[in-house]
A and B are shown apart, each in its own frame.
Chain A
Amino acid sequence: MSEPLLSVHSVSKSFRGLRAVSEASFGVEEGHIVALIGPNGAGKTTCFNMIAGAFVPDAGEIRFAGRRIDGMRPDQVCLAGIGRTFQLVRPFAGLSVLDNVIVGALGRNSSVVVARRKAHAILERLGLAEKRDQPASALTLPDRKRLEVARALATEPRLLLLDEAMAGLRPTETDQMVAVFRRLSAEDGLTILLIEHVMRAVMALSREIHVLHHGVLIASGSPDEVVRHPAVLDCYLGEEAV
């Protein structure tokens, strides 16, 4: 079996004595949607940040498409093919919706004309086309989340890191986002790794789930397996989840 698109080998990260992530290892196969779950403070976003290049792991290795990427700068990681969204959305508030996405598209297209065309297309796919001239600051939260995704998609990634993309959304909005991701995965073969607390979305989307607790990976497997795993129930889901 070939190497997974993304493989995280035994990475650790400490902050001033606090061990945020401890020898975590997991992989993400190309084309799959994989979830990273766990209680708050489990180290999920730290893992993301290490993959995305915002932090350098203290130990361990991260490989993407056969290359080592730990230690790369965030912009290098992006150009290597990994896009990311942020837990608290960070739109370019002073720019329009379209301009936000154009910035993303310029990563792989140096021509502004081409980038604009591609940005238009992405906004259409994500249902934001009518709002393209609005300032990003004027959008509602669900739209901002979609903008964040659109912008990351514009960088033409092979792997998309979604950090709590459903947080703050109502159930219908969550379902809409789930549909968007399903479509992206099916139509473009996009690989997605997502951090999520909203179990509704996790169960609907993921092919595989990894569970972190206190920086340690405590379970990995299909959604059905993980949801019945005693350690997971103990620390996170509770008996009622089953």
Chain B
Amino acid sequence: MKALLFVTPKRALVLMAVLAVISLVLPAFTNAYVLSVATLILYFAYLGQAWNVMMGFCGQLSLGHSLYVGIGAYVSAALFVHYGIPPWLGIWAAVLACMAAGAAIGVLAFRFGIGGVYFALLTIAFAEFTRIGFDHLDWVGGSGGFFLPVAQRDINDVLALRGSPVMFYYVMLVLTVAAFAFCTWLLRTRIGYYWQAIREDPDAAQALGINTFRYKMLAVVISAGMSALSGVFFAFYYNNLFPEQIFNMSRSIEIILGPIIGGVGTLFGPILGAVVLTVLADGITELMAVFGWEIPGVKQVFYGTCLLVVIVFLPNGIWPTLARRLGLERKEEGRRRV
């Protein structure tokens, strides 16, 4: 990692330091509302990075990522409510469950040579299947919802994920930064190189000795496991879970919007995308509230339009262009990705 510091241009390091400072002290300077928005940004930034591992690095399009968030949420919540198992233990079960789900999808798809659009449809089908399944699962509340006991907000217990919004903010901040570090590291390993090769040209990758099945599976499983954590967070932050909401296709779409707008395959793209989307979406909702318009669906139309504009004019996302303009590109040997 030290080598990383030497080749990253000074500007980028400065920018990262500034961002780090801002995000660390944010809670001290803002009100509860801004804090909740910031937490939401971090949530999507983290989740976007998790999805990006599968799509951006390895080229496998998942449109059913809400599956993992939902499973992670329900597993940890059920263990907590039914057996009193605290989240810092429940997380392991949640991650394992999600990895198993991802592995199942991966095996079914890749063993049978399903890729591209068909794979995406398969991921949707699994998510929808699970959504309807959970609607009928009374052990976790079924369609009526699953509720966690809301504890007092003044005691901050990180391990039990009970506490003030500030605590949740920092938890999400740590997760997001950890994910960023993890992804940065991953890209520079053999796994990262192999994933990118598979993304660019799976047949050529195979001809170079890459077992594409193994590495695609790895991407799916890692992505699923990472997403599980955001599910756990979701469960203990919002304290209620409904299959209709958490497994919904709209959730899956929200997850991918950030990375696509920010820049699929880049390290900073998902984070930037999450910021842009959440800020703008919130801005629009606020603006409309000012005028007294409360029309359902406006936010989504906005999302759709953003997506459309980015795909048509900036197909690689905002970040690559932005990074070039700001002179932030790393001049490292052989690499042009930030």
Residues of A whose CB lies within 8 Å of any CB of B are: 52, 54, 73-75, 78-79, 83-84, 86, 90-99, 102-104, 106-108, 110-112, 115-116, 132-133, 135, 151-152, 154-155
Contacts and interface: CB of A to CB of B under 8 A. Distances in A.
B210 A75 contact: yes
17 contacts: A52-B207, A73-B206, A75-B207, A78-B209, A79-B209, A92-B197, A93-B200, A96-B334, A98-B334, A103-B194, A106-B190, A107-B209, A108-B209, A112-B188, A133-B333, A133-B336, A152-B207
Interface in B178-204: 188-190, 193-194, 196-197, 199-201, 203-204
A83 B207 CA distance: 7
B201 A110 contact: no
Q: Which 8 A-B pairs have the closest CB atoms?
A: A98-B334, A107-B209, A78-B209, A92-B200, A74-B206, A90-B204, A96-B334, A103-B197
A132 B333 CA distance: 8
A103 B194 CA distance: 7
A77 B16 CA distance: 45
Contacts of B193: 99, 102-103, 106, 112
Interface string B296-333: 00000000000000000000000000000000000001
Contacts of B209: 75, 78-79, 104, 107-108, 155
Contacts of A94: 196, 199-200, 265
Contacts of B205: 103
Contacts of A79: 209
Contacts, number: 89
Contacts of B206: 73-75, 78
A152 B334 contact: no
Given A95-B196, A102-B334, 10 more contacts: A94-B200, A94-B265, A96-B335, A98-B333, A98-B334, A99-B335, A103-B210, A106-B194, A116-B334, A133-B333
A97 to B, nearest CB: 8
B333 A95 contact: no
B191 to A, nearest CB: 10
Contact of A99 (B190, B210, B334): B334
Interface residues of B, number: 25
B208 interface: yes
Interface of B: 188-190, 193-194, 196-197, 199-201, 203-212, 265, 333-336
A203 to B, nearest CB: 28
Contacts of A154: 208
A100 to B, nearest CB: 8
Contacts of A95: 196-197, 200
Given A92-B196, A99-B193, A151 B208 contact: yes
Interface centre among B196, B200, B208, B210 (most CB of A within 10 A): B208
Contacts of A99: 193, 196, 334-335
Nearest to A98: B334
A78 B207 contact: yes
Contacts of A75: 206-212
Contacts of A111: 190
A97 B196 CA distance: 13
B212 to A, nearest CB: 7
Contact of A110 (B190, B197, B200, B265): B190
B220 to A, nearest CB: 18
A151 to B, nearest CB: 7
Nearest to A97: B334
B203 A133 contact: no
Contact of B336 (A107, A108, A116, A135): A135
A107 B197 contact: no
A107 B334 contact: no
